[in-house]
Amino acid sequence: MPSTKSFTYQAVPGFFRHDNEPTGPQFRATTQPSLGLIDRSYETDSAFDPEGKKTQWERFVHFLEQQNRAGRGGVLYKLVFVIRHGEGHHNVKEAEVGRHAWDAHWSLLDGDGRVTWSDAKLTEKGKQQAQVLNAFLRESVASVKMPTPQTYYTSPLARCLETTRIAYSGLDLPADRPFVPIVKEGLRERYGEHTCDRRSTRSWIASSYPQYVIEPSLTEDDELWKPDRRETAAEVVDRVKHLLDDIFTHDDKHIISFTAHSGLIRGLYEAVQHNDVWVSAGALVPVLVRAERVGA
């Protein structure tokens, strides 16, 4: 495999309403109709759509493709469909006992004798949230010609693997965009201490999701999670930058999907200098990322 290049990253505003949503924990972004794509013109419209018959999404995708051609590999653009997994059993327990008790005690256990939340799985509500997202995707593809991702990436944690499967199940996909998710360790939640963020084995992932491609570097057992040290927020941001370098170097597709976690999404937003918008469980939000290659 070719060596990984380094880039600087910047979220590009002016295309999606999500970019200007409120920041901080008092607000949670939800999936907007048409993903909040702003009704506007592009400089590529006159040649691509002289009669004004194309949809907003068709014109945006053409504009995005043209931007990448103009960048000639030195400047790259990717539209990222960012999905936060649906509600997990750990989310329910934390809501029940409160943040302080969760962090100090319950998060360190595998469960409470009734429910297990180590590598937390989706609740029934979490599955329903993913099904709602699936219905949204089906309707949007049909009505406004919103594109489906060309590459699907997912965290290796169980709640993301299942959210990805449900959300993208049964879509009418082009032949060159098959649903073959790629499992990336770099997309996982902050690891350490909290058992909900300790992943299952590579063998379990492979047997439970045989249609997924697992990156070669993902080890059989979780060698990153430690019971006595939690990854810092700054370390998550650094991890995200390495993940983006990997993807922007080796994936030439311009529309991709990340299924991840609240902490990871906040790390992604810091890495690309996006506003710190918190995302609801089971929501899909768009982020347009500009990457500029560092050095030759």
Question: Of the listed 18, 21, 85, 231, which one is catalytic?
Answer: 85
Our answer to whether residue 65 is catalytic in this structure is no
3-class DSSP state for residue 248?
helix
- How far apart (Å, rounded) are the C-alpha atoms in residues 7 and 11? 13
Question: Of the listed 87, 94, 162, 189, which one is catalytic?
Answer: 189
Distance of CA 3 to the CA centre of its chain: 24
Burial of 210 (0-12, 13-18, 19+ CB in 10 A): exposed
DSSP 8-state secondary structure symbol assigned to residue 111: B
| Cα–Cα nearest to 29, from 20, 38, 37 | 20
Note whether 80 and 286 are within 8 A (CB): yes
Our answer to whether residue 215 is catalytic in this structure is no
Helix-helix angle 124-143:158-167, to 10 degrees: 40
Largest separation between any pair of C-alpha atoms in the chain: 64
Instruction: Give catalytic residues, as residue numbers.
Output: 85, 189
